[in-house]
Structure 1
Amino acid sequence: MKKTIRYTIFACFALFLLVMAFYLWAFQANLPSEQHVLLRGNRVSVVQVDTAALNDSVFRIMTYNLGYLSGLTNNQPVQPAKTLFDTHLKKASDLLQQKNLDIIAFQEIDYGSDRSYNMDQEELLAKAGTFPYVARAVNWDKRYVPFPYWPPTVHFGRIVSGQSLLSKYPIMDQKVDTLSKVQSAPFFYNHFYLERLAQVCRVAFQGQELIVINVHLEAFDRDTRAIHSAQVLAIYRHYAAKYPTVLLGDFNSSPDEVDATIAPFLEAADMQAVALGGDRLMYSYDSADPSARLDYIFYNDKLRLLAGEVITDAGTISDHLPVMASFRLAD
């Protein structure tokens, strides 16, 4: 009996050590920290870029939560076939070309993850859309992510993902601010959870500095998202006081929610929203049957809005629809 107890204790201890070893291995990063924030230029031959268009005083900008090209399967306990990702990549590439974009801000874009068959989606879309300048901010870099929780066969595995800004105008600099963690979550949850970022890029446009702030706020915890909203507003105001500034991304809050965390942005006197005004509420989520507006473009009075819309013809490349706007500098 005593021997059985000893064997049981030893087996439990060995299992504990095995689980801890796997845990410590799994939440380690795949990349060195200096590769989490990258700024690269001339990734596409400059002869491919329409240089005459770059002299235009109008720029076209889009925000798109790409959902790593997984369509409506995003975060669902399934493993889509590679053909789905290939098809969605082609559709996304065609969309970028059709819309004749100058700048696009992506959220949930993969740089080599098991869940999306190790595509570098940033690299592929930069080439397809002829964007010479790219700023990357990795917000999720783990060797193994045990989500969706069940069954284990659909766990994400290796994850390298984040936020990207692609531009036909030079990106002179980027600064990445890490927003608050979910304080109510247990430590192991936060170890495997993505970072929420504000990616601030300085873009050279018409002899001026254009500030583009790309964000992806907390989705599941309302109190944390409210903290993120306050942090992002402070970042925006720091730059908007001096520069033409665009704040865009996935804010994970709809105006028609009770106590919506997007309200401080919509009520602010020093910014305006694109394609959102009066009784006209254009939804961006989910892409199959939109019933919430989570994705926004805001701007300050140093810019003039020429047009803005939610791009419904993007279809179900992602579970989000993109938002697009055209601006010129204010007189």
Structure 2
Amino acid sequence: MKQIIRKVLLATFIIIGLIVLFFFWAKSPNWDKNDYAQIRNFRIDQKAVSDSTLSIISYNIGYLSGMTNNTSVRPTKEFYQKNMTDVLSHFKKYKVDLLALQEIDFGGSRSYKVDQFDVIGNALDFRSGAMSVNWDKKYVPFPYFPPTVHFGKMLSGQAVLSNYPIEEHERVELSRVRSQPYYYSSMYLDRLAERIKIKVGEQEVMFFNVHTEAFDHNTRVKQIEFLKDWFLRISEKMPVVMVGDFNSDPRYDNAGVLKFYEDDRIGAMCKKENLAKASTLTYPTDKAIEQLDFIFFSTAHFEVVEWDVLEEFGQVSDHFPVYTKLRLKKIK
């Protein structure tokens, strides 16, 4: 009997040890952190845009997983290829100056090791692009069951594709959720603000691509307050545009995104009286019920020419993209 107990205990210790080893291996990164912020040139020979208008799309592409995003479904490689073909076709119709993307994969297993940033940047002939990694793990065991749908090797983040020269690029981590246990937070992504400085003619413009916390309300509000303060400080020196998935519907209790509507120095693609109308909802794409995606700008420097929620993109992602054309005012 004692021998059986010893064997059971030994087997238990071995199993626990293997689980611990797997955990520390799985949460380790694929890339050096110094490589988490990069600028890539696609068509650097392309003449820079010198117009006073900026056309912008902000799009959480959900790694092109459509409505399967974060569900226990493993789409086929052909599914992703079709979604890439579809999204490129839609992008080519708009030919914007700046394309800000969230939840874009840089070669992770869940999207069959395709560097979506590289494919989109080259296919659309952008001058250059900035990328920021926000999720880098050897193995992410999510969705939890069955194991065949695990994300596996994770390499994902945010990116901005630009037809303007990119003069600066910075990856800034936003505040983390503190209420989750260690094993959860160790596997969780970083929430980011990606900052680039571009040159529009002779005018420098600061452009932000952000993706705030989705699940913890207090953390999200804290992040949005930080972003608003940063926006206002920089807008005293130069024009500012901030776009992205704010994960904050205006109808939420204490909705963080409404803080951007409380200051006349900040303008929005969608005026406050039009918030959360049927034509402004962006999520989910099978039946949109929330407005999570926004484009903001400094009112001292820009005015809105036109804007829209691009529902024609369909269910390539679980979000619809938002589009805006801004005109630079003559700065006295």
| Deviation digits for residues 80-120 of structure 1 (CA, Å, limit 9, x no counterpart) | 01111111111111122110211011000000011101110
Question: What is the SS of the residue equivalent to 2:54?
Answer: strand
What fraction of aligned residue pairs are identical, expressed as a percent?
A: 37
| Deviation digits for residues 64-83 of structure 1 (CA, Å, limit 9, x no counterpart) | 00100001111111100111
Tell me the equivalent position of 2:10: 10
Tell me the equivalent position of 2:117: 122
The answer (yes or no) to whether the contact 1:97–1:128 under 8 Å persists in 2 is no
The answer (yes or no) to whether the contact 2:65–2:317 under 8 Å persists in 1 is yes
Quote the Cα distance in structure 1 between the aligned partners of 2:117 and 2:201. 26
TM (norm. structure 2) is 0.95
Deviates more, 1:224-233 or 1:277-286: 277-286
Within-5 A mapping of 1:72-111: 72-111=67-106
Quote the Cα distance in structure 1 between the aligned partners of 2:270 and 2:315. 20
C-alpha displacement of 1:205: 0.8
Which AA in structure 2 matches 1:322? P
Tell me the equivalent position of 2:29: 29
Quote the Cα distance in structure 2 between the aligned partners of 1:44 and 1:124. 13
Within-5 A mapping of 1:234-313: 234-279=229-274, 281=277, 282-301=280-299, 302-313=301-312
Judging changes above 3 Å, is the alpha-carbon distance between structure 1 residues 279 and 250 closer, same or farther for their aligned structure 2 residues?
Answer: closer
Deviates more, 1:67-76 or 1:269-278: 269-278
C-alpha displacement of 1:9: 1.3
Quote the Cα distance in structure 2 between the aligned partners of 1:195 and 1:187. 14
Tell me the equivalent position of 1:40: 40
The answer (yes or no) to whether the contact 1:111–1:121 under 8 Å persists in 2 is yes
Within-5 A mapping of 1:31-180: 31-41=31-41, 43-44=42-43, 46=45, 49=46, 51=47, 54-180=49-175
Quote the Cα distance in structure 2 between the aligned partners of 1:57 and 1:329. 5
| Deviation digits for residues 117-150 of structure 1 (CA, Å, limit 9, x no counterpart) | 1110000100111112110100000010011122
C-alpha displacement of 1:44: 2.6
Question: What is the SS of the residue equivalent to 1:185?
Answer: coil
Quote the Cα distance in structure 2 between the aligned partners of 1:152 and 1:64. 29
Quote the Cα distance in structure 2 between the aligned partners of 1:27 and 1:285. 30
How many correspondences in the alignment? 326
Judging changes above 3 Å, is the alpha-carbon distance between structure 1 residues 60 and 157 closer, same or farther for their aligned structure 2 residues?
Answer: same
The answer (yes or no) to whether the contact 1:146–1:157 under 8 Å persists in 2 is yes
Deviates more, 1:67-76 or 1:145-154: 145-154
Quote the Cα distance in structure 2 between the aligned partners of 1:45 and 1:169. 10
C-alpha displacement of 1:234: 2.0
| Deviation digits for residues 14-33 of structure 1 (CA, Å, limit 9, x no counterpart) | 11110011011100111111
Within-5 A mapping of 1:204-223: 204-223=199-218
Q: Of residues 182, 190, 195 in structure 1, which corresponds to 2:185?
A: 190
TM (norm. structure 1) is 0.95
| Deviation digits for residues 3-51 of structure 1 (CA, Å, limit 9, x no counterpart) | 112111111111111001101110011111121110223x2363xx4x4
* Stretches of structure 1 lacking an aligned partner (at least 5 in a row): none
Which AA in structure 2 matches 1:24? F
Quote the Cα distance in structure 2 between the aligned partners of 1:238 and 1:248. 17
Question: What is the SS of the residue equivalent to 2:315?
Answer: coil
Quote the Cα distance in structure 1 between the aligned partners of 2:137 and 2:17. 20
Quote the Cα distance in structure 1 between the aligned partners of 2:86 and 2:30. 29
| Deviation digits for residues 152-175 of structure 1 (CA, Å, limit 9, x no counterpart) | 111100010000010011111111
The answer (yes or no) to whether the contact 1:214–1:247 under 8 Å persists in 2 is yes
Quote the Cα distance in structure 1 between the aligned partners of 2:274 and 2:126. 36
